[in-house]
Structure 1
Amino acid sequence: MKQIVKSFPGGKHKVLTMSYDDGRNADRRLVDIFNRYGVKGTFHLNSGLLGVGDRIGADEVSTVYAGHEVSAHTVTHPTIARSPKEQLVYEIMEDRKALERLTGYTVRGMSYPNGSYSKDIIDLLPHLGIAYARTVQSSKTFAMPDRLLEWNPTCHHKHDLLETAKAFDALHKRQYLYMMYVWGHSYEFDEQGNWDVIERFCEFIGGRETIWYATNIEIVDYLQAFDRLQFSAACDFVYNPSAASVWLSVDGDIVEAKGGERTWLG
């Protein structure tokens, strides 16, 4: 039987994703840096705080974050593990509704405000339309997530970011999939006067042919599309019921399984 493993789009074996919270004004500069180097980010916003203080205004959300993902962070940023379920439902669903009105697309992910969550919250999230949720616990690894509702990032940007990027860049074993997931708050660069950290990181890691640059939800959707593939018993062909393509490595050769089509695997 052929050796078949999933690959990222274009046959890549590495993915980089960035995740930033709170929607502060410094996001403008961060998005500009991401755009300059082809890096993609997910921005988790509190809809009830938009326009308050130095936060991005509601009327600017769709333009400031164009090309990136807007994701939920609850309406008012409470410590949700201490909140009643009724408040939790309100905070997440109303945040989704408001952000969806502003962006025009379905908001299906979030990051936990104050890093607060519990097993009961994890169990509830799928019923609220949430497909993934990011924690603040750094894994310090490049492993793919096995629990999307308890998605641990690789590192915060203040923890040896460039050294971590160099280690990520050096990964070459194509029988594995690797993910580097960086999180933080853009205003921290203002507070610490170290915008050069993220600038040098993006300049170093951007534009590489071996890396897929994706938002959080793009990764989730791609992994789910792979899981929906329908392989023949002999694994000599596969049917892809999804709309988007999925890439496979078949005995080392990259094969694109196009959406809605049957693809022979040699």
Structure 2
Amino acid sequence: MKTGTAALALCMAAVLTVFSGCSTAGGGEAGGTVSTADEKEDRREMEFYLTYPDYNTKAFTVSYDDGTIQDKKVMSLAKKYGVAVTFAPNTRWWGTSGWMDHEGYRVWVQRPTAAEIPHFYDGFEIASHTATHVMLAEVDDATIKQEVLDDMDYMEKLTGQRAIGMCYPGNSYNEHVIEVLREYGLIYGRSAAVLYKYELPEDFMSWLPTCHDAWEGCPELSDKFLKKNTHRLLCFYIWGHAYELDKPSLIEGTTRWGNLEALFKKMGEADNVWCATNGQIASYVLATRGCERTDDYFLNKSSMTVYAMHGDNRLEIAPGEKYIFADGSIEK
């Protein structure tokens, strides 16, 4: 988990994933010689780099859409292995049920009632998915407002939790939709398009997950993620619909529920991964991007504590504090 930028690093206003080592005085072209492997490793060990709150540079997050009774089983597995999940229900569909033909397979879809909701998602983040699963890029602003604010207000009324993120129904969104949602206080929006990589988004309002939970390559991709040794902040993000977990697995000899449990166990037991909700990751990374970094110091200009490593030293840099690279001191 030890990586990061060298002493001469780019300003934190840029995307976090850009952080990489740069040459310092005493080696390379400046000194007219090529650094030895030992010298490079020494510099690497003294690098200052940002981490997640647990001092790791890798995070795992999950989101499930539509709000069905299968969410309960996902929550049970998440609690068992210490995994964080974000759920995005459609608030005006609560209490409905029926068969759904989904990609050639019939699944039973049943949603909890409004009476069950106040404690149904206790301990988990709730994101907006609109009130009735409307395609946001295909409707006017008045409908967007009605669908999104009605969804957020109703959920807050029943649970006390106000959404800070959107999971776009049908992957329907554009720049105008993003602009409108920002006005409603949302800080992230999850796409249904997948990245097959672990990079964080430049704009959290267009956040592409790593892969769908049922994808055949998910186990291999998660193994590669765990083996990564990086000083950049990365994130392994899966998404899906909990009712789809009742469908046959795409991986021969397995079940979708079994595959999900194996993934949760793998990530939950890993000591180099921060398991966090969508909102926790977006909030933290956005806070770090609002900080200031120069050749001499790192200034936390955000309202959150920022975590970092400098060599073997674990740092907690509180809001308003300045960390001085040269002597490792903190100015309040």
* Fold match (TM-score > 0.5): yes
Q: Does the 8 Å contact 1:241/1:261 carry over to 2?
A: no
Paired with 1:259 and 1:63, the residues of 2 have a C-alpha distance of 33
Paired with 2:268 and 2:320, the residues of 1 have a C-alpha distance of 32
**Aligned match for 1:238, one of 299, 319, 328:** 299
Q: What residue in structure 1 maps to residue 226 of structure 2?
A: 169
Q: What residue in structure 1 maps to residue 286 of structure 2?
A: 224
> Any idea what the Cα deviations from partners look like across 1:39-97, whole Å, max 9, x if unmatched?
10110111111122211222333423222100100011122222122111111111110
Aligned length: 263
RMSD, matched Cα: 2.0
Which shows bigger deviation, 158-167 or 133-142?
158-167
Instruction: Look up the SS of the partner of 1:180 in the other structure.
Output: strand
Q: Does the 8 Å contact 2:296/2:324 carry over to 1?
A: no
Work out whether 1:33 is the aligned partner of 2:77: yes
Paired with 2:321 and 2:119, the residues of 1 have a C-alpha distance of 35
Work out whether 1:4 is the aligned partner of 2:48: yes
Work out whether 1:210 is the aligned partner of 2:272: yes
Paired with 2:201 and 2:133, the residues of 1 have a C-alpha distance of 25
Which ranges of structure 1 fall in alignment gaps of 5 or more residues?
A: none
Paired with 2:299 and 2:271, the residues of 1 have a C-alpha distance of 26
**Aligned match for 1:17, one of 37, 61, 71:** 61
Paired with 2:139 and 2:247, the residues of 1 have a C-alpha distance of 30
Paired with 2:282 and 2:263, the residues of 1 have a C-alpha distance of 24
| Percent identity for Structure 1 against Structure 2 | 29
Query: Offset at 1:186?
Result: 0.4
Which shows bigger deviation, 98-107 or 57-66?
57-66
Instruction: Report the TM-score, using the length of structure 2 for normalisation.
Output: 0.74
Bigger radius of gyration: 2
Query: Offset at 1:245?
Result: 2.1
Instruction: Report the TM-score, using the length of structure 1 for normalisation.
Output: 0.91
Which shows bigger deviation, 79-88 or 24-33?
79-88
Which ranges of structure 2 fall in alignment gaps of 5 or more residues?
A: 1-5, 8-46, 98-109, 249-254
Q: What residue in structure 2 maps to residue 61 of structure 1?
A: 117
Q: Does the 8 Å contact 2:90/2:133 carry over to 1?
A: yes
